[in-house]
Structure 1
Amino acid sequence: MKNILATLAIAALPLGALAAADAPLVFKPGHASLKQFLLPAQVPHPADNAPNAARVALGQTLFFDPRLSGDGNMSCATCHNPGLGWSDGQGTARGVKSSVLGRASPTVINTAYNSIQMWDGRKASLEDQAMGPMQANVEMNMDIAKLFQWLNGSEGYKKMFDKAYPGQGINEGTVSKAIASFERTAISRNSPFDKWVKGDAKAMTAQQVKGFEVFTGKGNCMACHSGANFTDNGFHNLGLESWGLAEPDMGRYAIKPVKAMKGAFKTPTLRDVARTAPYFHDGSAQTLMDVVEHYDTGGTVKTNLSPNMKPLNLTHDEKLALVAFMEALTSPYKPVKVPALPVK
């Protein structure tokens, strides 16, 4: 586990941390100063849950099975649809009985590289978070005792679990491991930006390269969206309008009650961000341009505002270039097959 955390820490290091301390970025395709933006080829995983075909297949089956919810009509894929950027296209998520929840469904893309999970960071790993939505009465609202009674009575699932985790049985541990194994296949690291970093001069347009310059410079985006996965795995109050409500979502503060964490939420990856609208934890930004405009103002509500939030005074062309660059972080879409679910 220590090696995994070390890998994740490297992936989240801020601009320049992997290069010489005084070495500036050179905005030329293939330049050595850009290599820090390439994700590791090996996807991190715990030592006791190394991925294999059987584990991924089991996790994929569980991920798409609505019978893991109390009403039998919601699966993990309901809120994390591969065709919708591994999110749901909603401003905020829908839970049991289609109730409107307070936070957006975060994307599963590249969560394997995160050192902490969820908008408020209350889960440490993919294994740690996998059962959460099933157990939450406002989300999938599943009776966990009934869930395992049913899974252990299913001949199809018993065969899959025996193959994936021989001798470990069907329990919260193996269900969590299987779902996490499948989620680790949701990877984005073959975008036009990645190709440009590797030396393909035609992979990005001149406008996108200009956007990268704005991103790493005047836009101050790297203050939070740092490293190869474009997240610092940290928490920030962005001064959103919802923070000014009478009873605002306290975010990370509910988990770690220190003043700086009031209204602070985890920095999401920008990988495949063009597919994951709406944006922010409250779904208040409909487009990437809306996101840029918010950051350009330095935040709407100034109370407990992150010190990284300052007016940017970007020109219209700079804003367009910044959006174009973020669009260049999208990898080609890989269709995900909905598996045949065990009948018994």
Structure 2
Amino acid sequence: EAELQRNTPTVAGLAWHTWFYWDGRKDSLWAQSLAPIEAPAEMNSSRMYVARLVGQSPSYRAFYENLFGSYPGILLQPGKLDHASPIGDAKRQNNWYRIPAGQRQLVNRVFTNAGKALGAYVRTLEHGASNFDNYVEQLERGNYRKANKILDARSRQGLKLFIDDKKTQCLRCHNGPLFTNFEFHNIGSGNFDGDSLDFGRLLGLPSVLQDEFNCLGPYSDAPSTGCIHLKFINRQPDESLQGAYKTPALRDVAKTAPYLHDGRYTSLKDVLQHYNDIANTKKINAMSELNPIDLSDDELLALESFLLNLTGSQK
């Protein structure tokens, strides 16, 4: 077991995202699904192990061949190493480059297909309807009394604050059906010194561009007209990306503590105070995009009350 440097975000609703991880270093669910398998602090396994496991398990192999065609039996020949990968410790890397190039491609193909199966499952995980959704539905039907029974006065006050672009500016980042614009913003939470350096999108951008499993890579199923997000992205990292992280979705936010990219806050109250205390935030990180909002204690409680109403029913 190991403690990770970053907070684990929810997997619900990921079917609608373009970038994955807080720094966006992966650009598909299937590519993201592969990374923890080989990460030393997570599963600490290897692509060769996964490829051989798929072939050795009768049930996995049957599923695999039903979806992707014949399994490359050469990977199960005696003498094949259980752990081999271009990443990881020196032993695994040495094992990897001892494998003929053609067979390495076969390993990658089985590995990525396993990731695509994992990604297909994760795409089915969605948020349930929340009090806020039911409130909006009643408003659209003209049932204002019913609507006001769903959200109490304090929650409605919080909603008004949330959509007030001059006072809170929440909608600059937290907009759309999932309450996120899926992009990267600097809210003064980057770690640029000490033992836990984290530069956010500044390093995530070159990582996704160099990733062999990205949308433009040889293992992608995207059509030639696809991958617009990579083809037209600004490839020149600049200072504004230092400490920028992906805007998290707010649906079910009450269930996803702790908060921020490093999990530094245990409650929504603490998160809201972070946004309210801009002067202190800018002392720590001058590149923060946040502007002063200066909410009263009552207004902060109202915003928190609204956010609690984004919790969905179980699906």
Q: Residue type of the partner of 2:183?
A: G
Distance 1:136 1:205, change over 3 A: same
2:69 aligned with 1:167: yes
Instruction: Write out per-residue CA displacement over residues 38-76 of structure 1, whole angstroms, 9 at most, x where no aligned residue.
Output: xxxxxxxxxxxxxxxxxxxxxxxxxxxxxxxxxxxxxxx
Against the structure 1 CA distance between its residues 143 and 127, is the aligned structure 2 distance closer, same or farther, given a 3 Å change threshold? closer
One of 222, 231, 243 as aligned partner of 2:180: 231
- What's the counterpart of residue 69 of structure 1? none
Q: Does the 8 Å contact 1:270/1:329 carry over to 2?
A: yes
**Bigger CA radius of gyration:** 2
Matched residues, number: 235
Seen in structure 2, the aligned counterparts of structure 1 residues 140 and 228 have a Cα distance that, compared at 3 Å, is same
CA distance 1:245–1:325, shift in 2 (3 Å): farther
Counterpart in the other structure of 1:281 = 261
What SS does structure 2 have at the residue aligned with 1:182?
helix
More helix by share: 2
CA distance in 2, matches of 1:278, 1:237: 19
Q: Percent identity?
A: 37
CA contact (8 A) 1:241 1:301 kept: no
TM-score by length of 2: 0.70
CA contact (8 A) 2:13 2:125 kept: yes
**Distance in 2 of aligned mates of 1:99 and 1:127:** 24
Query: Unaligned regions of 5+ residues in structure 1, if any?
Result: 1-97, 335-344
The 8 Å contact of residues 188 and 281 in structure 2, kept in 1 or not, is answered as: yes
Please provide the CA RMSD for this pair.
2.0
- Structure 2: stretches of 5+ with no match in the other structure: 72-108, 139-145, 206-236
The SS at the match of 1:300 is: helix
Cα distance in 2 for residues equivalent to 1:241 and 1:174: 35
Mapped contact 2:128–2:313 kept (Cα < 8 A): no
Distance 1:240 1:301, change over 3 A: farther
* C-alpha displacement of 1:137: 2.3
Measure how far apart 1:174 and its partner are: 2.2
Letter in 1 for 2:311: T
Displacement after TM superposition at 1:304 (Å) = 4.1
SS in 2 for 1:255: helix
* TM-score when normalising by structure 1: 0.64
| Distance in 2 of aligned mates of 1:241 and 1:117 | 18
Q: Does 1:317 align with 2:310?
A: no
Cα separation, 1, equivalents of 2:243 and 2:267: 22
Is residue 258 from structure 1 mapped to residue 161 from structure 2 by the alignment? no
Question: Which residue is 2:154 aligned to?
Answer: 207
Shift of the alpha carbon at 1:328? 0.7
User: Counterpart amino acid of 1:306?
Assistant: S
Counterpart residue number, 1:305? 287
Q: Determine the C-alpha separation between the residues in 1 that align with 2:154 and 2:301.
A: 8
Alpha-carbon offset, residue 230 of structure 1: 0.7
Counterparts of 1:234 and 1:304, CA distance in 2: 20
Shift of 1:313: 0.9
Residue in structure 2 matched with residue 194 of structure 1 by the alignment: 133
Does the aligned pair in 1 maintain the 2:189–2:243 contact within 8 Å?
no
| Structure-1 residue corresponding to 2:104 | none
* Counterparts of 1:328 and 1:316, CA distance in 2: 19
Contact 1:231 1:268 in 2 (8 A): yes
1:103 is displaced (CA, Å) by 0.7
* Structure 2 partner of 1:150: 53
